[in-house]
Chain A
């Protein structure tokens, strides 16, 4: 009896963990075709809700986020590719609507700075280690 309760409890927990986060997508928005709906969800997670700014449209309850979710689904149904839909929204709201900034000349500094700083640091550490090594092991 106790074992059964434990198994049931564990199963419930597993279901809870495995369940995909539903986001803010309302049942009436969901597309009948699961493949298209999956694409809509992934596009929605890439687009910023401009009203709340730090949520994706997939997570936001703002009316504008809902309008954009419906728009994304309409264009998917009409046969647009994911890139075309992202381009459509960016043409109206700018790069800021993308939660991941695009890699282009204006953002090179943003994307490359961490690697550049890491390289600079590695160079510094190497130089220091070499110098210290030279001091610690004098030529006999």
Chain B
């Protein structure tokens, strides 16, 4: 009996060390990314926003435009290099049909945005110009690019932080869109 009591501190230490070790290994793995913040909007309706269009390229974007069919809302800027990296992936998406791709142009001089889309192509059905970044704050965006998956009821279902690469499309976004009927 006395021997067992003697082992209690050792057992507690091993439990603590094991827990810390497990979290260290987990945080390194791709499945559990501790740098990416969870969005508070998941399974909540799209926040209230109403943005003017990028004249000559696409009509503006407001809360009322979302819903009816699944959609991606992609926050982007011409000055953002990862946005350029994900751009071809977005360009390939409309061909798959059923999903609306909307853009929010974040703190970008309009001429720059127009030039960027003119050169690389425009994947967006609608583009809202968020010149002061206030709409992005409503969405809880903390960097570009960020992409939200919206279902046909206008609810936020998923947020992707950083560029959407082919791998992300394959693993999470395409299966989710299929589930939403896109």
A67 near B142 with CB under 8 A, answer: no
A64 adjacent to chain B (CB < 8 Å): yes
A94 partner, pick from B38, B133, B137, B143, beta carbons under 8 A: B38
A95 to chain B, nearest CB (A): 8
Range of interface residues on A (Cβ < 8 Å):
10 to 19
Range of interface residues on B (Cβ < 8 Å):
10 to 19
A92 adjacent to chain B (CB < 8 Å): yes
Which chain B positions have C-beta within 8 A of A124? 8
B137 partner, pick from A51, A68, A96, beta carbons under 8 A: A68
A71 adjacent to chain B (CB < 8 Å): yes
B147 to chain A, nearest CB (A): 17
Interface secondary structure of B, over-half rule: loop
B140 adjacent to chain A (CB < 8 Å): yes
Which chain A positions have C-beta within 8 A of B138? 92
A98 to chain B, nearest CB (A): 12
A91 adjacent to chain B (CB < 8 Å): yes
B133 near A92 with CB under 8 A, answer: no
A10 adjacent to chain B (CB < 8 Å): no
B137 near A50 with CB under 8 A, answer: no
B140 partner, pick from A51, A63, A67, A93, beta carbons under 8 A: A93
B133 near A93 with CB under 8 A, answer: no
B interface, CB within 8 angstroms of A: 8, 37-40, 47, 107, 132-134, 137-140, 142-143
A interface, CB within 8 angstroms of B: 50-51, 63-64, 67-68, 71, 90-94, 96, 124
